[in-house]
Structure 1
Amino acid sequence: MPADPPIRDTARDLDAEGPAAVTRLLRSRPARPRLLGLGEAMHLEEPIGELRNEIFRELVEHEGYRAFAIESDCLAGLAVDAYVRTGAGSLDDVLRTGFSHQFGESAATRELVRWMRAHNEHHPAADRLRFFGFDAPIEMMWAASPRRALTGLHGYLSAHPVPLPCTLETLDRLLGTDERWVNEAAAMDPSQSVGGSPEVAELRLLADDLVVLLTAYEPHLVSATSREEWRRARLYGRTATGLLRYHAGMAGTSPERVWRLMALRDAMMAENLLDVADHGPALVFAHNRHLQREKSTWQLAGMALEWWSAGAIVSARLGDGYAFLASALGAVHHQGLPLPHPETIEGVLSTLPGNRHVVDSRALTAALDGAGVKPVPRTDIANNYGYFPLNPEHLAETDGIVFVKDLPPRGQEPGKRG
């Protein structure tokens, strides 16, 4: 399918214009977003991380962005934020301990954190960049113990004259060993989950009582500590209650068990992102599926799963304060993903000259409709099953597409594979 002039007119060449092409697209929107979601079509591909860094630097230097959030453990990310703001710790330490999902192993992530720290060294405290993990402390096969979140919340409250519902010793007794919480067998066998125990039921009630104290005593707590410390305690609180809810869901036996777990994780992400929005404008980097506005769907082991993504929840809350740039890839030969079929969205975009583009997706939708072109879903898959193609039916629900025609391995230019 040739690239008709109207289709070319919807795209800006990122290699020719640089990341400023993204800001030109954003300025055409009705309002400046508080959160800009930049989707990731395939995790842990270094060229995408490098492009993300280019875009973030442009947004910081020319659009006043002051925060970055990534699909990584929200509690671990506190160490990264401390490093970029104050220099606490070392770069190697925060890359090792401050990320989940292998993000800390990425060279592009290392460069991002290093650049944020260098930028902050030349700015006053009130104008420094902030870093946030916004995912729950959850992996594919397990969820973390709520110990860190619960004891962090209890420690904050106990340092002030606030009537507590329990002692730290009580929490420790009910929590037991951390190993029992991260039992991977529970992912497939609900009877292996700690979430159905009487101790977890009691912990959920205590966590709820602790969280409400943050609101009931907010004037005193903020005055005695700081707004920043209070907000951190609130992060501890929503993480503790979210993890306890998730573990209880893992112990469930209803047909909706897997759907509920998916929905609970994205709901936790959304709450964290709404908190990040108060530090915005912020760039949010995560998989497309977590940032999209439409319902997420997944066919898994014979189950047709549907749930609302974090992006959909945030978009419902913020309206024009949320924008979403999906990413899409053409060929990823080192992952076994070939050139896309010409009748797919990726195939249409692959006819554009150049390799990297940002596309006005609403203008693209209008151009395709005007030309009588109805793209079909892409069905080929990568060797690692990690690429999720764009859904043509929901193209107009994005604000733009960041498209890379030929994604090379790190260190190779497009078209120069060995």
Structure 2
Amino acid sequence: MATDIKDTAHAVDAAAVMGLLRTRPRLLALGEPTHGEDTLLDLRNELFRQLVEQEGYRTIAIESDCLMGLVVDDYVTSGTGTLDEVMQRGISHGWGTSAANRELVRWMRAYNEGRPASDRIRFAGFDGPLEITGAASPRQALTALHDYLSARVDADLLPCTAQTLDHLLGHDEPWTDPAVMMDPARSVGRSAEARQLRLVADDLAALLDEQAPHLIAVTSGDEWDRARLYGRTAVGLLRYHHWMADTTPARLARLVGVRDQMMARNLLAVAARGPALVHAHNSHLQREKSTMRMGGKPLEWWSAGALVSARLGDAYAFVATALGTIRHQGVDTPPPDTVEGLLYELPDAHYVIDTARLVTALGDTPPAPRVSPWFGYAPLDPAHVTGSDGLVFVKDARQG
């Protein structure tokens, strides 16, 4: 079996990845089984660089706040700001401190220097303005959308004035209170003002669609794309806050589902702009239902990848990443009867694996599921191997 498995493995490069795919996908997604490991991110950077240079991909989207990502996009396309400022203000979840993420942004800016706009690579965050402890105020998205429309359509068509909108939003602190995650009663997501804001957001987003011929004619493509991003984000955030205030057993499942729905809509918008590379946790990109335990309860939901794949078909491709060890987190050599354990016997540091041939090599006896001793790492589910278009295997994640 080991010889057969070795025959499924190739060096990690753009040619090996593209060789696994039936067609050139519009969205090519690379997953990771844990966050914050620069070993994985360095490999992502090199692979994405090759895919940009050799295959013509022109957007790189990562699991980061979609509104903050506009700061990074401005920097890599036009040099607005400094790299230090951009890494602090443009990437969420604390990942702006990652040396590998910094190198990605630096390289994107260097690549674009002197190139015509049509050939520049773009950056996108495709997560909502969300953290595990809560969500942002809808102020930024709603105000920006209202401002965009106010400058371009008759005031009588708007559902409210800017002053009324500001009054309904109130102070930002109640929206962003981290205690809400554990105490729904503290949420303002189902207040009278929040219910009114959901109607306002819906009306503003609808007006954006109704006035599309005029708006597209009088604004740039980037302005139009950003207005639609503000609309998606405002509607999604208010829905998320609504479920933050819920007290039923459905609360957590609805929250993770709404988050991935927001991710999916952002990815579809990125795909509409042209060929894009995507990087996020495997659980956000896989085609199967995602599962996790939160608050002691099992959750199940359709990931952004599953939602996008249902819409795009072969125009979406997903390559998962599996990992051998993260010794500095207590994740040691994988058991030999797991997928990771079998691949760990290969001699080199990382590979692209042909999953179709891997399934054949594994034979009729399915590998055992690996169990992680650390909550921050999600082992590969053997049942999901056939749902990915390929697999990147990294033997060891090294600290520092």
Secondary structure, counterpart of 2:357 in structure 1: helix
- Paired residue for 2:184? 190
Structure 2 match to 1:341: 335
Aligned match of 1:244:
238
**For this pair of structures, how many residues does the alignment match?**
398
Matches within 5 A, 1:305-384: 305-369=299-363, 372-382=364-374
Q: Deviations over 1:324-369 (max 9, x none)?
A: 1111111111111110000011001001121111101121012112
Does the CA contact (< 8 Å) of 1:66 and 1:279 recur in 2?
no
The reply on whether 1:200 has 2:198 as its aligned counterpart is: no
Q: CA deviation at 1:25?
A: 3.2
The sequence identity of aligned pairs, in percent, is 58
Q: In structure 2, what is the equivalent of residue 415 of structure 1?
A: none
Runs of 4+ in 1 over 2 A off after TM superposition: 299-302
Determine if the alignment matches structure 1 residue 124 to structure 2 residue 116: yes
Map of 2:151 onto structure 1: 159
Measure the CA separation in 1 of the matches of 2:294 and 2:80: 43
Provide TM-score, normalisation by structure 1.
0.93
Q: CA shift at 1:182, angstroms?
A: 0.6
Do the aligned residues in 2 keep the contact of 1:154 with 1:210 (CA within 8 Å)?
A: yes
Give the letter for the 1:391 counterpart: D
**TM-score, normalised by the number of residues in structure 2:** 0.97
Is the contact made by 1:13 and 1:354 (CA closer than 8 Å) also made in structure 2? no
CA offset digits 1:296-342 (Å, max 9, x no partner):
11123332211000000001011001111111111111111110000
CA distance in 1, matches of 2:124, 2:11: 30
- What is the aligned partner in structure 2 of residue 111 from structure 1? 103
> Considering only aligned residues, what root-mean-square deviation do their CA atoms show, in Å?
1.1
Distance between the aligned counterparts of 2:234 and 2:198, measured in 1? 9
**C-alpha distance in structure 1 between counterparts of 2:373 and 2:293, whole Å:** 14
Gaps of 5+ in 2: none
Q: Deviations over 1:82-139 (max 9, x none)?
A: 1000001111111000010112111111111111011101310111100000000000
**Contact 2:27–2:271 (CA under 8 A) maintained in structure 1:** yes
Give the whole-Å Cα distance in 1 for the aligned partners of 2:79 and 2:354.
Answer: 39
Matched, 1:69 2:67: no
1:112 maps to a residue whose letter is L
Q: Unaligned regions of 5+ residues in structure 1, if any? A: 411-418
- Does the alignment pair 1:30 with 2:28? no
Looking at structure 2, the residues matched to 251 and 386 of structure 1 have their Cα atoms a distance apart, in angstroms, of 27
Q: Could you tell me how far 1:42 is from its partner in structure 2? A: 1.1
Q: CA deviation at 1:161?
A: 2.8
The Cα of 1:12 is off from its aligned counterpart by 0.7
For 1:300 and 1:89, locate their aligned partners in 2 and report how far apart those are by CA, in whole Å. 39
Secondary structure of residue in 2 paired with 1:95: helix
What is the alpha-carbon distance in structure 1 between the residues aligned to residue 261 and residue 55 of structure 2?
Answer: 29
Pair 1:11 & 2:5 matched: no
Match of 1:296 in 2: 290
Question: How much does 1:286 deviate?
Answer: 0.4
> What CA deviation, in whole Å up to 9, does each residue of 1:53-80 have, x standing for no partner?
0001100111111110000000000010
Deviation at 1:28, TM superposition (A): 3.6
Cα distance in 2 for residues equivalent to 1:301 and 1:95:
32
210, 219, 224: which one pairs with 1:225?
A: 219
Could you tell me how far 1:231 is from its partner in structure 2? Answer: 1.2
| Partner amino acid, structure 2, of 1:7 | I
Which residue of structure 2 aligns with residue 416 of structure 1? none
